[in-house]
Structures are given as structure tokens and as C-alpha cells.
Amino acid sequence: MATSSLTVTHLDDGAIWRATIGGSKGNVLDAAVMDALADLFRNAAAAPHLKAICLEGQGPHFSFGASVAEHLPPQVTEMLARFHGALTAMLDSAVPVLAAVRGQCLGGGLELVSLCHRVFASRDARLGQPEIVLGVFAPIASLVLADRVGRGAADGLCLSGHSATADEALAMRLVDEVVDGDPAEAAIAWARTYLVPKSASSLRYVVRASRSGLRARLAAELPAIERLYLDGLMSTADAIEGLSAFVERRPAVWRDA
């Protein structure tokens, strides 16, 4: 499977899929990438012998996050639905997903990674939720990031917009392993050692069981967070100003309203 937005290579007789996000500088998660990811996870759910997906970015970075232009009205409602639909498809597939992070992993990129089952990072990796710098917030991270790193560290990332180094991310358990070489190769080696020898069917039951609470919480709480974003945040002058300033490449001028 290959599109301009996502390339999927089947390894080990289809037991591992290596999925590479591309399509733009910084592997921005625009509408085309989100649709390709949703298709990837739906196809994965229908592949009975698949035991792991290794998710990476093309080139030196994982992803700069979702398209900032698509955060602005009138596209923002559709953008959120698309992105959250892709992440829901990921959870519903019940296939173990391993993330391989090189370089920048920001915003929606980190939200995607935070839902993966194991995260491998290169020494140059930088992971952050910089949405607040643009005057907005990350809906999925607001709900799930604390599951990985604890509430204090999650609040710190979301409030500050700070990008953690690989070592900082390892210390807070945002990543599971930091490697000197290619994190994708490390992820694939881990899958070959620990997942490929197992039953694909049984692995999916493990995922369904371990993620059942998370899936239920997202179903129950995400709609309210989306309404807070769309009806609350996006009605403020500062949210529009922050996003517009980024697109126009100028400093934001905050009104605190």
C-alpha cells in the first residue's frame, strides 16, 4: 500500500507492517494523511495475521503535527473529526502499534504517538505539545497524555509548550527506549522478538483488554472536549489570532480574550 501521504511495507510475511508518514516537509498531518491513517488502521483490523505496525515519519522528523491552516474556521470542525476518527480507528483495530520517533514529534504527532503501545526514539528526538504557543490546546492529549506520563508531567507539557529531549521523554516515560541508531529498526527488532512469535488473535485480545478503559473514556469524554474546543476556544479572539499569526509568519498579539 502506498500513497503520497503514507507508504506501508509488509515484513515477515505480513506479520509486521512498516508505515511511513510522508507527503510534505515535516510530515504534516493534513486531511490526506489523516484519511490514509484511518484506512491503514481499518485495513489492519481486517488482516488476521498482522501482529504489529511500526509507525514512523519520512526523513529526519516524525511529524510537525496537524496542519495549522486546517485548525482555522471553517476547516477546523472537519479536521478534528478526521483526526479523532483516525485515532479511534487505531484503537479499534486492536493491533499493537509501535512508534519510531526521529527529530520533531509535535502536536498531533505526539497525540498519535502517545496512543502507541511502545515508543522508540532517536537521540535527536524532540517531543512536545506546542498548541498553547498558538493559543489553542490538544484535545486528545488533554485526555490521554497523563496515562503515559502522569498528570503533573502532562500538564507541564500542555501548559508550557515545551519540547522534551529524548532523555527527558525517557525519564517521564513518554518514550520507552532511546536508541543510538534507527528507532524504526529497533521497533521492528522488538516486534520480531516479542510479538511475531505470538498468536495474532491473542495479541488483539490483550490490546482490547488493556485499552478497554481508555476506549470507553474517549467515547464518553471526547465529545465534550471537542465542544469545548469548537464552541468555546474557537470563539475567542486569541485562538484565531494565534493560529493566524503562525500561518502569516508574524508574532501573535494577545488580547487575553
**The pLDDT of residue 224:** 98
Delimit the domains of the chain by residue range: 6-182
Tens digits of residue pLDDT in 150-166: 999 999 999 999 999 99
Architecture of the domain delimited by 6-182: Alpha-Beta Complex (3.90)
Tens digits of residue pLDDT in 40-78: 999 999 999 999 999 999 999 999 999 999 999 999 999
Check residue 177 and give left, alpha or beta (phi > 0: left; psi -120 to 50: alpha): beta
Read off the C-alpha cell for 81. 473529526
**The pLDDT of residue 23:** 85
C-alpha to C-alpha distances, 80 to 51, 137, 200, nearest whole angstrom: 29, 12, 31
Closest CA to 100 of 51, 166, 159: 166
Read off the C-alpha cell for 15. 506479520
Tens digits of residue pLDDT in 217-230: 999 999 999 999 99
Tens digits of residue pLDDT in 112-158: 999 999 999 999 999 999 999 999 999 999 999 999 999 999 999 99
Q: Does the pLDDT of residue 1 top 90, yes or no?
A: no
Q: Does the pLDDT of residue 4 top 80, yes or no?
A: no
Q: Does the pLDDT of residue 3 top 90, yes or no?
A: no
Read off the C-alpha cell for 102. 526521529
Block residue for cell numbers 479536521: 79
AA letter at 98: L
**The pLDDT of residue 147:** 96
Tens digits of residue pLDDT in 165-207: 999 999 999 999 999 999 999 999 999 999 999 999 999 999 9
